[in-house]
A and B are shown apart, each in its own frame.
Chain A
């Protein structure tokens, strides 16, 4: 009676059966040993996990949408309309897919900035940052390709503009544009390609990269903010940690449950709009704008004059964002030592980037 609670015999037998066949216990051992540092900034550790959870939601709702969606210019809009109006809970599945996509991009950005400001991207975590950045670009690719699939007016023109921007890239621009559009213009061929990217190519690459990203985190352990790390190294008894499994994991589950609640509320109260069917021979409507996460780039392109010296303004904007993106990806290699003086500069860069993106986004929504 007073002895420790025992695992029930049946599940015990199953665990032993698995263990005898492929070393189950050994497989789980790293999870049992993993710890999560406890400090006042610990909450930021949840963001990556929430992003992962939202990705899983995307996969599940995406599979459900595939049951009714038809990827052709003649049928796409009608099939989404059918999902929204005829299929039972179709509106809910699609709204959750759209809301979850947007929240996922938001949490991914928040995760990235928290990693930057807590200096978790420095040696030895360069590859974690690198895979994370590629995952962020893939998420934007998911957003861009998925946006077109309902084949509505807004999506049609957003895709025209977005692919035209990629066509401005020096040398490879034109072939890239033809490759993305499946021809010179945005047509049904573009829709078919984007559908392929969205449901096959991107999910495959993303799943693989998530596996590498999570494995790296598993191998390297959780990063402790530099100030705290120095204090803990100086006075080891001060170190506070909790086991990842089940203590931290249980809290992560709570965060996921809250995220699910937020998703349900948003999808139920603000079902995602469908708009009007795309017509290649209609004018671009007033007030056209991309998804919010492209807004800061959109607004910048809008502000750059047609010509800056001898260069086309748009080309300058695109090159600017390209160079900035590349520098951002390479930050762990440019920043040097975790405690070095260059870190102050990088923090300044991070604050500037965040302020720029926020203000340009707000400006974009306020400007006519």
Chain B
């Protein structure tokens, strides 16, 4: 039996195995360090404390053809009282790049100051860069409170 033969044949295989074990071990420990770090970078989800409806204003607080910003959960909403005295409630977050929109009583439209986008009072994007309409909410009067609620199924 030639003693050197099998050894030289096994040598590369054994080396590959060692490299695999060493490399795999290093890779595994690198992943074990990296995974918690990556998870750490993602903030825990914050609960949206808003619920489905909110008191946006008192009756009589808004004059005709004016508006106010109200808190709807963690996001701002826009309550508009039209020139006819009707209430409209929209999300105040511009669908373009997230700025907070405002009601312009001079043109009777909703305007975003950041990139000059316009919406009508139903929230439809009518001019400028906004790609989608604003979410619109239901408004009803409950005693002396103006209550805004999310549309069901919306």
Q: In the complex, how many angstroms separate the beta carbon of B145 from the nearest chain A beta carbon? A: 19
Pair A284/B112 contact, Cβ less than 8 Å = yes
Q: Which residues of A contact B131 (CB under 8 A)?
A: 306-307, 312-314
Interface band, chain A: 35 or more
Pair A306/B129 contact, Cβ less than 8 Å = yes
Pair A301/B115 contact, Cβ less than 8 Å = yes
Q: Which residues of B contact A184 (CB under 8 A)?
A: 46, 74
- Chain A residue nearest to B102 (CB atoms) is A283
Pair A287/B43 contact, Cβ less than 8 Å = no
Pair B129/A178 contact, Cβ less than 8 Å = no
Q: In the complex, how many angstroms separate the beta carbon of A281 from the nearest chain B beta carbon? A: 5
Could you give, for residues 97-108 of chain B, a 1 whenever the CB lies within 8 Å of some chain A CB and a 0 otherwise?
111111000000
Interface presence of A170 (CB below 8 A)? no
Pair A287/B113 contact, Cβ less than 8 Å = yes
**Complex: A312 Cα to B95 Cα, angstroms:** 11
Number of A-B residue pairs having CB atoms within 8 Å of each other in the complex: 80
Q: Which residues of B contact A298 (CB under 8 A)?
A: 115
- Name the contact of B99 in the complex, choosing from A161, A183, A185 (C-beta under 8 A): A161
Interface presence of A261 (CB below 8 A)? no
Q: Which residues of A contact B100 (CB under 8 A)?
A: 157, 281-284
Pair A281/B114 contact, Cβ less than 8 Å = no
Pair A185/B101 contact, Cβ less than 8 Å = no
Interface size on B, residues (CB 8 A): 29
Pair B128/A286 contact, Cβ less than 8 Å = no
Could you give, for residues 54-91 of chain B, a 1 whenever the CB lies within 8 Å of some chain A CB and a 0 otherwise?
00000000000000011100111000000000000000
Q: Which residues of A contact B97 (CB under 8 A)?
A: 160-161, 164-165, 301, 314
Interface presence of B49 (CB below 8 A)? no
**Complex: A5 Cα to B41 Cα, angstroms:** 61
Q: In the complex, how many angstroms separate the beta carbon of B112 from the nearest chain A beta carbon? A: 7
Pair B46/A183 contact, Cβ less than 8 Å = yes
Q: Which residues of B contact A164 (CB under 8 A)?
A: 97-98
- Chain A residue nearest to B127 (CB atoms) is A306
**Complex: A287 Cα to B116 Cα, angstroms:** 10
- Chain A residue nearest to B96 (CB atoms) is A314
**Complex: A280 Cα to B75 Cα, angstroms:** 8
Residue among A175, A182, A281, A307 having the largest count of chain B Cβ atoms under 10 Å: A281
**Complex: A287 Cα to B92 Cα, angstroms:** 18
Residue among A164, A175, A305 having the largest count of chain B Cβ atoms under 10 Å: A164
Prevailing SS type, chain B contact patch: loop
Q: Which residues of A contact B75 (CB under 8 A)?
A: 185
Pair B101/A284 contact, Cβ less than 8 Å = yes
**Complex: A183 Cα to B98 Cα, angstroms:** 14
Could you give, for residues 270-292 of chain A, a 1 whenever the CB lies within 8 Å of some chain B CB and a 0 otherwise?
00000000001111111110000
Residue among B46, B71, B112, B125 having the largest count of chain A Cβ atoms under 10 Å: B46
Q: In the complex, how many angstroms separate the beta carbon of B153 from the nearest chain A beta carbon? A: 22
Interface presence of A342 (CB below 8 A)? no
Pair A302/B129 contact, Cβ less than 8 Å = yes
Could you give, for residues 125-144 of chain B, a 1 whenever the CB lies within 8 Å of some chain A CB and a 0 otherwise?
10011110000000000000
**Complex: A183 Cα to B130 Cα, angstroms:** 23
Interface presence of A365 (CB below 8 A)? no
Pair A304/B129 contact, Cβ less than 8 Å = yes
- Chain A residue nearest to B92 (CB atoms) is A283
Q: Which residues of A contact B101 (CB under 8 A)?
A: 283-284
Pair B43/A160 contact, Cβ less than 8 Å = no
Q: Which residues of B contact A185 (CB under 8 A)?
A: 74-75
Interface presence of A249 (CB below 8 A)? no
Q: Which residues of A contact B114 (CB under 8 A)?
A: 157, 161, 284, 288
| Known pairs A161-B98, A164-B98, A284-B102; A314 contacts B42 (CB<8 A) | no
Residues of A within 8 A of B (CB): 157, 160-161, 163-165, 175, 178-179, 182-185, 187, 189, 280-288, 298, 301-302, 304-307, 312-314, 368
Question: Can you show 12 pairs from A to B with CB atoms below 8 A apart?
Answer: A161-B97, A163-B98, A164-B98, A178-B42, A179-B42, A283-B69, A283-B92, A283-B100, A283-B102, A306-B96, A306-B125, A312-B131
